[in-house]
Structure 1
Amino acid sequence: MAKKIAVMIADGCEEIEALTPVDVLRRLGQDVDMVGLKDLAVTGAHQIKLTCDKVLDDSLLDYDMVVLPGGYQGAQNLRNSDQLMALMQKRNQAGKWNAAMCAAPMAFARYGLLNDSDYTCYPEMEKEFASDVTNGRHHEDIVVVDSSKHIITSRGPATALAYAYKIAEVLGVDPAPQKEAMLYNFLATNI
């Protein structure tokens, strides 16, 4: 049975980070919704127009995974949403998986999700939200999974494929066929 994944999309999002998980997880046969923070129509950080499947509502609690892309403005918009914060805190309390990359861990920091957690983010970004995190442990790995907190984090645009594949793995979906088909394995050994 396919897993349900929501990718939160806000104005100013980093398009690569928003669309890569959608693309990879749909290729892997998963049920992925692009969820607009406020509207179905969103403009990314590089003026790419995105059309979401739905707008944020309480159904966010029903997803197996919620994914937050970065992009500084987009991450700020996600961070500043009290509605999203309340839903993400409920998801966290229920032990559901959540993921954020690049600048988006700033939202997790505000929500309290990074407390006592291992995480990563865009270089130096952790300094911006350090005062919002209690006993968090920042790492410089490409992707960091904190299984005890049900959180996945990643660094930035170039790590979007590794992030998407890790999301699949955590959800019990084997990404190996797509890693091969999308030439990820070739890239990993030749870069």
Structure 2
Amino acid sequence: MPKVAVIFADGCEEIEGLSVVDVLRRLQVSCDMVGLDDIHVMGAHDIALTCDKVVGDDLLTYDMVVLPGGSGGAQRLRDSAQLQHLMQTRSEAGQWNAAMCAAPIALARYGLLTDTTFTMYPGMKDDIASETPGARFSEDMVVVDQDHKILTSRGPATALAFAFGIAEVLGVDPAPQKEAMLWNYLMK
């Protein structure tokens, strides 16, 4: 069974991170909540989160690392030299990485969006597209760039689609939870 880490930083968009954790755990995928600097994280909407562990070298052992957005959280992720090193190492090893909403700014800073198709929160794409060689923005809800093993999504309302996309990329069929969580009803 795949193993996923979702990285939480102060100021994160809670729904984006917790939706991924919730959906993956419902699908029996091992999913750890990992604090950027501490196991105690305060989300952008004053929701206190308690993570399972703190960022460390074991991030290299996960099948996918996920970065939720939220402006403050995304900036903290972007500015972490330790996380940058780990994510670059993961990318060089051909491992999957994902980010949504504002968090692709971190992937761009790390150099992981070069020549990649991506999506993110509206209004933020121009900074990445202009500063990242070959980066191509898409308005799709979820974008999977198979060549670079990068998965991105738009924002809070796309969190479930993002989580289902992560499961699919990892070879886990999300169909049972799409039905159980009323996703199929919503999409009608």
TM-score normalised by L of structure 2: 0.99
Counterpart residue type for residue 114 of structure 1: L
Query: Are 2:129 and 2:136, in contact at CA under 8 Å, matched by a contact in 1?
Result: no
TM-score normalised by L of structure 1: 0.97
* Percent pairwise identity: 65
State the distance in 2 between where 1:129 and 1:49 align: 30
> Which residue does the alignment assign to 2:96?
97
State the distance in 2 between where 1:18 and 1:161 align: 10
> Aligned to 2:94, what secondary structure does the other structure show?
coil
Mapping of 1:48-63 within 5 angstroms?
A: 48-63=47-62
TM superposition shift of 1:128: 2.8
Query: Are 1:117 and 1:135, in contact at CA under 8 Å, matched by a contact in 2?
Result: yes
Counterpart residue type for residue 97 of structure 1: W
TM superposition shift of 1:131: 4.0
Unaligned runs of 5+ in 1: none
Q: Which 4+ stretches in 1 moved above 2 angstroms? A: 128-132
> Which residue does the alignment assign to 1:38?
37
Alignment pair present for 1:87 and 2:76: no
After superposition, give the CA deviation of every residue in 1:102-132 in whole Å (9 maximum; x if it has no partner).
Answer: 0000000000000000000000111233343
TM superposition shift of 1:93: 0.4
State the distance in 2 between where 1:128 and 1:138 align: 11
> Aligned to 1:158, what secondary structure does the other structure show?
helix
Counterpart residue type for residue 119 of structure 2: T
TM superposition shift of 1:3: 0.7
State the distance in 2 between where 1:68 and 1:41 align: 17
Counterpart residue type for residue 132 of structure 1: E
CA RMSD of aligned residues (A): 0.7
> Aligned to 1:66, what secondary structure does the other structure show?
strand
Mapping of 1:101-112 within 5 angstroms?
A: 101-112=100-111
Query: Are 1:101 and 1:121, in contact at CA under 8 Å, matched by a contact in 2?
Result: yes
State the distance in 1 between where 2:11 and 2:64 align: 22
